[in-house]
């Protein structure tokens, strides 16, 4: 990392720490410096050098940056800049001071707590809100981009300590004329969070993001992913064949209204599933607020700060 630090220092980015590492890239927390003692904490996503030379990975990284540059929404992590140095591409992104849902779940297991039902539903409703915006996005000429995230899962959903919920990592998203896409040939996404369409290498539309978001909701409520298995192929098989339980039998405080929402989100036949993220968002908000006061960003932020002490 020493050479990386030196290179980015010349670009006025001070690399602070590694946030996350994946097979193709690394994300750093960095301090951006400017004139007049300007400082801003950002995240820098760097594609690994060996992948920067492969055209499809290079094109996808550029495509992701171009795509998310125009996705300006409070429930989506913002991208500020795409750059290249020493043959490697990097993105400068919004730094979210908080945790991802995988860390959120792990902390609950550590302290022996269950996530309150209303907060679980609220978190997923905020992701549905971000997806509604992304799914409806058009380009400057009014052409619908047909965005499908295709990688909804616990690692790609962030909660800031202020309570904001943000969807990130559009690295394998599908979007018209922007992303390298082998749909129909490869399985895109993580096996335990696939939609049935992804698991069978079928062509996807926006409904493919609804099924994994339903999985995330049940994982928050139960503390585990019912489809996850030790073997990747078994996880994929579970997505296609595991009987969908009645979740109120697994957690009694899941009421009839929430059960109905979960069951509709997890319909394997996509024509029976929620047809849009907006419909899912509407049902979750009716569930949360129809009787009066419900959860807010501030309530979630206070809860997270207390949890992570």
Residues marked active site are found at 151
Nearest to 221 by CA among 101, 124, 114, 103: 114
Buried b (16+ CB within 10 A) or exposed e, 87-103: ebbbbbbbbbebbbbee
Cross-sheet strand order for the sheet of 98-100: 98-100, 157-160, 165-167
């Amino acid at each position: 990392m020493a050479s990386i630090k030196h290179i980015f220092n010349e670009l006025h980015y001070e690399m602070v720490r590694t946030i996350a590492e994946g097979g193709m890239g690394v994300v750093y927390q960095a301090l951006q410096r400017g004139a007049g003692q300007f400082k801003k904490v950002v995240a820098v996503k760097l594609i690994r050098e060996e992948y920067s030379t492969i055209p499809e990975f290079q094109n996808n990284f550029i495509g992701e940056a171009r795509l998310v540059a125009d996705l300006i929404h409070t429930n989506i992590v913002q991208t500020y800049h795409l750059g290249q140095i020493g043959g490697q591409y990097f993105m400068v992104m919004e730094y979210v001071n908080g945790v991802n849902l995988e860390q959120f779940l792990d902390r609950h297991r550590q302290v022996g707590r269950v996530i309150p039902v209303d907060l679980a539903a609220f978190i997923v409703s905020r992701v549905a809100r971000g997806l509604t915006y992304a799914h409806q996005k058009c380009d400057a000429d009014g052409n619908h981009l047909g965005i499908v995230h295709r990688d909804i899962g616990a690692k790609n959903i962030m909660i800031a300590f202020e309570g904001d919920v943000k969807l990130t990592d559009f690295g394998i998203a599908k979007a018209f004329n922007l992303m390298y896409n082998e749909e129909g040939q490869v399985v895109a996404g993580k096996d335990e969070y696939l939609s049935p369409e992804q698991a069978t290498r079928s062509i996807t539309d926006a409904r493919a993001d609804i099924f994994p978001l339903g999985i995330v909701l049940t994982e928050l409520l139960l503390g585990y992913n019912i489809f996850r298995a030790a073997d990747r192929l078994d996880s994929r098989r579970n997505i296609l064949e595991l009987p969908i339980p009645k979740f109120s039998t697994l957690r009694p405080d899941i009421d009839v209204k929430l059960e109905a929402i979960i069951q509709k989100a997890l319909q394997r036949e996509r024509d029976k599933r929620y047809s849009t993220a907006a419909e899912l968002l509407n049902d979750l908000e009716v569930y949360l607020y129809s009787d009066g006061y419900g959860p807010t960003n501030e309530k979630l932020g206070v809860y997270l700060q207390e949890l992570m002490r």
